């Protein structure tokens, strides 16, 4: 039986909380801040490709899948000498309505890097999420040059990473969350996801501009 995970939960929850949530002993309340964040993402999205969902399937070990939803995908076709070259920018939008702490910013970077990694290791096919109240689209980004950007309250950052390292960490976290014992062991070994992955040595960040 294949176990399915939410990429967002893998970033936002520690392993023990994720385990409890999956077993039904932990609930996640939808807060006003979360709803405002969704509205912010909708307001700042410029392209027609909003809330584009994809899914990653593991090829090794116990079968798992990880579903992810990219806030926005921007497509640009660049004429080449012999053919059109397609560029795809995936964007994660984060509302900042307060003075953000380092942990909030690092989790936003982790999420941006993880979603790009998931896309690279998936079949690169995306479709508008069912819950999105707007036109539906499908995208196949096979052969595209992929770039990822974090919009952090109007400040834009290019985010690049070692996708293999990022995937290894989160796939291990997903598998560890399948039991309370392994979840506790994972959290004890990895109390800080940013540092556990390798921080700025693995996730490269370059400020572009204020939007």
Tell me the pLDDT tens digit for each residue of 140-169: 999 999 999 999 999 999 999 999 999 999
Read off the pLDDT of residues 29-81 as tens digits, 9 standing for 90 and up.
Answer: 667 877 888 889 989 999 999 999 999 998 777 789 999 999 999 999 888 77
CA angle 52, 57, 61 (to 5 degrees): 155
Of 55, 92, 90, the closest CA to residue 73 belongs to 90
Give the single-character DSSP code of 96.
-
Helix/strand/coil for 154: coil
User: Any idea how long the chain is?
Assistant: 211
Query: Residue range 179-205: average pLDDT?
Result: 96
Q: Pick the range with the lowest mean pLDDT from 1-10, 75-84, 117-126, 199-208.
A: 75-84
């Amino acid at each position: 039986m294949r176990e399915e995970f939410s990429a967002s939960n893998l970033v936002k929850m520690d392993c023990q909380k994720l385990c409890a949530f999956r077993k039904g002993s932990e609930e996640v309340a939808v807060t006003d801040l979360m709803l405002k964040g969704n509205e912010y993402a909708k307001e700042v999205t410029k392209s027609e490709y909003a809330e584009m969902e994809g899914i990653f399937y593991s090829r090794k070990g116990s079968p798992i899948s990880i579903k992810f939803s990219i806030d926005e995908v921007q497509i640009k076709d660049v004429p080449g000498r012999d053919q059109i070259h397609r560029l795809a920018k995936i964007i994660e939008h984060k509302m900042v309505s307060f003075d953000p702490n380092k942990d909030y910013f690092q989790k936003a970077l982790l999420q941006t890097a993880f979603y790009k990694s998931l896309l690279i290791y998936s079949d690169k096919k995306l479709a508008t999420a069912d819950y999105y109240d707007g036109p539906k689209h499908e995208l196949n980004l096979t052969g595209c040059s992929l770039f990822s950007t974090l919009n952090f309250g109007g400040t834009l950052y290019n985010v690049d990473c070692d996708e293999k390292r990022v995937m290894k960490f989160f796939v291990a976290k997903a598998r560890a969350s399948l039991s309370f014992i392994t979840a506790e062991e994972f959290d004890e070994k990895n109390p800080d996801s940013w540092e556990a992955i390798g921080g700025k040595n693995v996730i490269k960040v370059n400020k572009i501009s204020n939007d």
